[in-house]
């Protein structure tokens, strides 16, 4: 449950605690290029198309890495997810205010995003009272968390890049067709949206207009037994890369698995 990964061009980066690995991605193979030990444990990982890695460390701390060299340090609180262009990103941490982050001429600019004061019913902005995950695609922003309301459902909201809500993905109280366990990753593909449910070991598929197209157990599509779905990302070739962990049958170790999903 602590593995993180990011994609940038022909590189895949994998982070576990203070270990950061770099792989070459060829479409059919992942070749390990390097394995480095960071001074501190990383909590989250994001990348842009320019090959920059944004590593969230402990509270109010993080680094930017380019070509295996630290090029910047920052005091951004919580997790940082960058737009693929690297022009801006979003920082989030549960019920704390979300912030739009811009790296500019060696400076870090912060401004409130649309989800603020989530733990205060009087002044809250936005539909969430808690945010667990934010993913940013080329076109849209996907936010997963707990909505405001008596039944407090967990849903995925899709926003345009100006912060206007476009879709709300997930079950209605009377419909359990997309009742989430715990969403660990959301990705926007050419045909819609995919979400990985770590607890239920399920993949959900929605069309671009938010229609639930279906769901499938990992065992049925990948032949796995009982994996934890760590995350999902979209590669430059349009395929979806899924990171999973699973205990061996003899329980001698946990294995890290990467699956490439095409056709959606």
Helix (H) / strand (E) element for 220: namely helix 218-222
Q: Name residues whose C-beta falls within 8 Å of residue 164's C-beta, 6 or more positions apart in sequence.
A: none
Q: Label the pairing between strands 183-188 and 165-169.
A: unpaired
What is the pLDDT at residue 28?
A: 84
Question: For position 195, what pLDDT does the model report?
Answer: 97
What CA–CA distances, in Å, run from 77 to 57, 93, 101, 177, 215? 9, 7, 11, 35, 34
Residue recorded with tokens 């295996």: 68
pLDDT computed for residue 152 by the predictor: 72
- Please report the pLDDT score of residue 175 as a whole number: 56
Query: According to the model, what pLDDT value does residue 172 have?
Result: 57
Tens digit of pLDDT at every position of the chain (264 positions): 889 999 999 999 999 999 999 999 988 889 999 999 988 888 899 999 999 999 998 767 899 999 888 988 888 888 999 999 999 999 999 889 999 999 888 788 999 999 999 999 999 999 999 999 999 999 999 999 999 987 778 999 999 999 999 999 987 544 555 578 899 999 999 999 999 999 999 999 999 999 999 999 999 999 999 999 999 999 999 999 999 999 999 989 999 999 999 999
Q: What's the confidence (pLDDT) of residue 58?
A: 75
Check residue 177 and give its pLDDT. 54
The model's pTM is 0.93
């Amino acid at each position: 449950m602590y593995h993180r990964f990011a994609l940038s061009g022909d590189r895949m980066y994998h982070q576990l605690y203070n270990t950061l690995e770099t792989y070459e991605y060829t479409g059919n193979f992942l070749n390990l290029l390097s394995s480095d030990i960071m001074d501190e444990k990383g909590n989250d990982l994001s990348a842009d198309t320019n090959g920059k890695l944004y590593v969230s460390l402990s509270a109010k701390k993080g680094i930017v890495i380019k070509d295996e060299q630290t090029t910047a340090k920052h005091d951004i609180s919580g997790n940082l997810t960058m737009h693929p262009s690297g022009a801006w990103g979003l920082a989030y941490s549960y019920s704390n205010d979300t912030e739009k982050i811009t790296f500019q001429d060696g400076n870090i600019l912060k401004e409130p995003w649309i989800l603020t004061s989530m733990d205060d019913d009087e002044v809250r902005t936005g539909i969430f009272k808690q945010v667990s995950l934010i993913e940013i695609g080329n076109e849209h922003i996907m936010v997963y968390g707990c909505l405001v309301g008596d039944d407090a459902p967990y849903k995925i909201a899709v926003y345009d890049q100006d912060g206007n809500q476009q879709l709300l993905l997930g079950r209605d109280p009377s419909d359990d067709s997309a009742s989430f366990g715990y969403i660990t990753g959301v990705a926007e593909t050419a045909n819609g949206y995919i979400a990985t449910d770590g607890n239920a070991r399920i993949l959900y598929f929605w069309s671009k207009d938010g229609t639930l197209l279906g769901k499938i157990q990992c065992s049925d599509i990948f032949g796995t037994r009982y994996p934890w779905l760590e995350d999902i990302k979209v590669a430059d070739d349009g395929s979806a890369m899924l990171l999973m962990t699973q205990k061996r049958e003899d329980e001698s170790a946990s294995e890290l698995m990467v699956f490439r999903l095409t056709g959606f």
